[in-house]
Structure 1
């Protein structure tokens, strides 16, 4: 019994030490007095060409930033069964149709569709300007 109590006390002390914060300011490390002196080069170093800062370019700004408190379990539309994944999947992947606020089907990637007389065949006409996420046109 004495060994277990000692082990618990030592483990608790290590745990508390790991969780504690220091109140002392961090001191910078002083340079060594034996540092090698700087050697000047006879050949000037090439100055790299300054590229334009991509943040200063004329890129569109604005939009919507969505912050998540946890990562979604999946971004696979076939496996997304939770609200977090579903909300992101709806923003990433487009469908042939979408549902508007009046709960009516409206075209998304399809510009229209036809339903056969027997109701078994649906024919969708894709928009001519439909593109994949990488910018390549949809050819179907």
Structure 2
């Protein structure tokens, strides 16, 4: 049996044919509705594309900011290492200065003791009286 046969098959329900006027009105409405929905869909796709482009630009800006922050963090870390090194050098110099000050104080104390000892020894010495005439003659000459 071919599809154009007017006999209906028992396993298929009988289909009623709609009048041609019905197809014209329904088709026009369907086409108008479909066109409107397609235009609406195209507008939504454009809006979505624009939104995705905006998002892409924002992601690029965020990536640039993150790179700027990372560069600044690396520079700051380098600066902190330099400051730390300078502080360590200052600490070393301060310790050396303190050690030298202790040595100087010990040497000064030792010299003060030696000076006191020398003064004590000098006070025990008795000098013979000098002949003032000889001294005067020498200075006159």
With structure 1 as the length reference, what TM-score do the two structures score? 0.19
TM-score under structure 2 length normalisation: 0.19
Q: RCO greater where, 1 or 2, for CA within 8 Å and sep 6 or more?
A: 1
**Greater Rg over alpha carbons, structure:** 2
